[in-house]
């Protein structure tokens, strides 16, 4: 299976461990992914909240990332495996043209076929449920195969591309 190119990479760090809802900020990124610009706050930062699911259902991931203006960035599928943080997850953009609750345009609508991979980092031996940092990897047009790409990520198949993206990443 051919691997898609990483079009965008970001490192999000935990800002305040004591918060009820963990808040993460993108501190480094490589590449350019236009819809991310819509997530910037007044100070120019991109912050996201790690939140539990809103509704019940088999297809609803247990965890999601929420961005500016309560925009649901993505659910994190396979975040938990056997009730433990797996270390990897995947997701993809919402497919609706607007966020119906707020009637705001979905900045990811044109990018709905993309896929997101996540590497979840916790301190060695930690049992807490809040990661220290999360790495986001955007793969263009990879939505359909994103579960397979997540498996490849766990098997170190993206290591070279990922290391190159980490080296290229600039501070936000």
Q: What is the pLDDT of residues 3-40, one digit of tens each?
A: 788 999 999 999 976 678 899 999 999 999 999 999 99
* Gap between the Cα atoms of 119 and 147, Å rounded: 14
* Gap between the Cα atoms of 95 and 72, Å rounded: 11
Calculate mean pLDDT across residues 120-143.
Answer: 88
Quick one: pLDDT at residue 57? 60
Residue 17 is encoded by which pair of tokens?
Answer: 């461990």
Residue 48 is encoded by which pair of tokens?
Answer: 């996201």
Cβ–Cβ < 8 Å for 119, 88: yes
Task: Check residues 59 and 145 and name the one with the higher pLDDT.
Answer: 145
* The Cα angle at residue 21 between residues 16 and 23, in degrees rounded to 5: 45
Cβ–Cβ < 8 Å for 27, 15: no
Structure confidence by residue, pLDDT tens digits, 38-58: 999 999 999 999 998 766 665
Does residue 118 surpass a pLDDT of 80?
A: yes
């Amino acid at each position: 299976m051919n691997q898609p190119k990483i079009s965008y990479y970001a490192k999000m760090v935990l800002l305040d461990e004591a918060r009820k809802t963990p808040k993460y900020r993108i501190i480094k990124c490589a590449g350019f992914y236009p819809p991310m610009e819509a997530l910037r706050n007044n100070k120019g930062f991109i912050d996201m909240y790690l939140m539990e699911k809103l509704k019940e259902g088999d297809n609803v991931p247990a965890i999601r990332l929420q961005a500016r203006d309560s925009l649901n960035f993505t659910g994190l599928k396979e975040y938990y495996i056997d009730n433990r943080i797996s270390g990897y997850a995947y997701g993809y953009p919402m497919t609706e043209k607007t966020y119906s609750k707020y009637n705001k345009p979905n900045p990811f609508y044109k990018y709905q076929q993309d896929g997101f991979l996540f590497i979840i980092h916790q301190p060695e031996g930690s049992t807490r449920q809040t990661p220290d940092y999360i790495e986001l990897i955007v793969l263009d047009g990879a939505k359909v195969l994103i579960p397979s790409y997540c498996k490849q990520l766990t098997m170190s198949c993206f290591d070279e591309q990922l290391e190159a993206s980490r080296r290229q990443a600039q501070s936000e």
